[in-house]
Structure 1
Amino acid sequence: MIEFIDVEKQYPNGLTALKNINVKIEQGEYVAIIGLSGAGKSTFIRCINRMHGITEGSIYINGMDIRLLKGKGVRKLRRSIGMIFQSFNLVTRTTVLKNVLVSYVPDLPFWRKITGIFTKEQKINALTALDKVGILDKAYVRVDQLSGGQQQRVALARTLAQAPQIILADEPVASLDPVTANLVMEDFRKINKELNMTVVMNIHHVELALTYADRIIGIRSGEIVFDGNASDVNDEVLSLIYSGQEVEDTSANESTISEKNPVA
């Protein structure tokens, strides 16, 4: 579904954020991108939906080179890709249901945008999305009365309501407490498995990445230095991703991965 071919990204200030990226992500994979702050994780995620353009190479989604898209083509692409941010991006002074219904606004005729009237089908779909993330009972509650974890679930439900093929998540649990973060990560895994929806997530919490994702991509200084199953990640791999050095002998180190690298 997603393929990077010889991708490079350089910002106007001369900073090279991505170098020689070649990777393919299949339909239904749950991929966690890990690495130090500034390694290029967010840039990698945002190139997929054209929030960031690339300098060299190509990115294909379902066989289409998205670098060639313009105007309506870019908007159509973004409708098929849900994006979830750390900050939730919700309208806190209105209800949960209205926040989810916002996902339909780009496709509404002008008179519905002005009046704020949604169809019965759209309302049912929005309620169904809330049910999938376990907060249907909060549909008519104002967002500012919810906990951080519940607000992130509203953001996830809003994304589900647009029926995307891909979900991109940029540090979705960074501001949540550990218990709530696990619950939200479980929501992502449930959606990934039940709907066969591709999830690509940028995350600092190594332990959460290894627990919930199937595949780990490690990025260091803009380059992919590891790409493999979460079960194959060990101290040596983490040392390569976070310090650029290989560990010669880890047999004497009985500490867990989470103790050694709790947060990047």
Structure 2
Amino acid sequence: MIVFDHVSKTYPNGYQALKDINLTIEQGEFVAIIGLSGAGKSTLIRTINRMHDITDGTLTVDGVNVMELKGARLRQFRRNIGMIFQSFNLVTRTTVIKNVLTSRVPELPFWRALLGAYPKKDKLEALEALDKVGILDKAFVRADQLSGGQQQRVALARTLAQNPKIILADEPVASLDPVTAKQVMDDFRRINREMNISVLINIHHVDLALQYADRVIGIKAGEVVYDGPASEVNEAVLAEVYGGQFEAGV
């Protein structure tokens, strides 16, 4: 369970990205976060794994106060939270399976990490993760030979190899064509349902948010202006979230 209790975030330059956020996200939910660029969507999800620190309020994950974590405890906490970016963040000059195996590096003895000597168990788990996203046949292909959609699936497999409880995705399909974007969203939804992993996706494509998510959170100027079932999002809600620009967000 993720709980935002009167959470705010102000950057050093004085910009307030989040304003008094109160949210509770249960384990296994599929949540889409929508809003204009600069509304605070990315900041919201990045506070969950402490990529950004909050400045007011309390943020807890499974009862743990995120802001109290330091050092080894923070690193271990982050192992339970996968993060996927728009830009894939792959090492493109190496193979797909080696990219997936990088998720295991924090748990390896130094000499194994240095030599890339991964245990057989880790290799099998990496192959299983690739199989779950439908690209097992690409395991020994260089990442730079894959399409954008395939590269995002590698990023998702790398995250699955962490055995996370939560997956955070920051615009994961923004750079993909519509057909490929739906294929990747299919992967997210299947993993969410089959593995009971909480999925929080910051997404510009409202049509995909409504098609795939169970719950939609609309953010405007750092404030939550809608939080409810995807099935109840209508033009009035979109007008509230996007203002006069809501058609551009659909």
Partner of 1:3: 3
Partner of 2:13: 13
Query: For the Cα contact (< 8 Å) 1:205–1:262, is it kept in 2?
Result: no
Partner of 1:95: 95
- CA–CA separation in structure 2 for the residues paired with 1:175 and 1:81: 23
Number of aligned residue pairs: give it.
250
Greater C-alpha Rg: 1
Q: Does 1:263 align with 2:244?
A: no
Stretches of structure 2 lacking an aligned partner (at least 5 in a row): none
Partner of 1:113: 113
Partner of 1:226: 226
- CA–CA separation in structure 1 for the residues paired with 2:137 and 2:120: 19
Partner of 1:129: 129
Alignment of 1:1-264 (within 5 A): 1-243=1-243, 261=247, 263=249
Q: Which segment is superposed worse, 179-188 or 71-80?
A: 71-80
Query: For the aligned residues, what is the CA RMSD?
Result: 1.2
After TM superposition, give the deviation of residue 263 of structure 1 in Å: 3.2
Q: Does the residue aligned with 1:261 lie in a helix, a strand or coil? A: helix
- CA–CA separation in structure 2 for the residues paired with 1:99 and 1:147: 15
- CA–CA separation in structure 2 for the residues paired with 1:232 and 1:262: 20
After TM superposition, give the deviation of residue 113 of structure 1 in Å: 1.1
Query: For the Cα contact (< 8 Å) 1:32–1:200, is it kept in 2?
Result: yes
After TM superposition, give the deviation of residue 244 of structure 1 in Å: 7.6
After TM superposition, give the deviation of residue 111 of structure 1 in Å: 1.0
Partner of 1:253: none
The residue identity in structure 1 corresponding to 2:43 is T
Q: Does the residue aligned with 1:224 lie in a helix, a strand or coil? A: strand
Stretches of structure 1 lacking an aligned partner (at least 5 in a row): 246-259
Query: For the Cα contact (< 8 Å) 2:35–2:249, is it kept in 1?
Result: no
Q: Deviations over 1:179-233 (max 9, x none)?
A: 0000000100000000010000100000000000100000000000000000000
The residue identity in structure 1 corresponding to 2:176 is L
Q: Deviations over 1:86-106 (max 9, x none)?
A: 000000011000000000011
The residue identity in structure 1 corresponding to 2:80 is S
The residue identity in structure 2 corresponding to 1:261 is E
Q: Deviations over 1:56-97 (max 9, x none)?
A: 001010011111111112111111100000000000011000
Query: For the Cα contact (< 8 Å) 1:207–1:262, is it kept in 2?
Result: no
Query: For the Cα contact (< 8 Å) 1:217–1:227, is it kept in 2?
Result: yes
The residue identity in structure 2 corresponding to 1:11 is Y
Q: Percent same amino acid among aligned pairs?
A: 68
Query: For the Cα contact (< 8 Å) 1:215–1:230, is it kept in 2?
Result: yes
* TM-score for the superposition, normalised by structure 1: 0.93
Change (3 A) 1:128 1:262: farther
Deviation beyond 4 Å, 4+ runs, structure 1: none
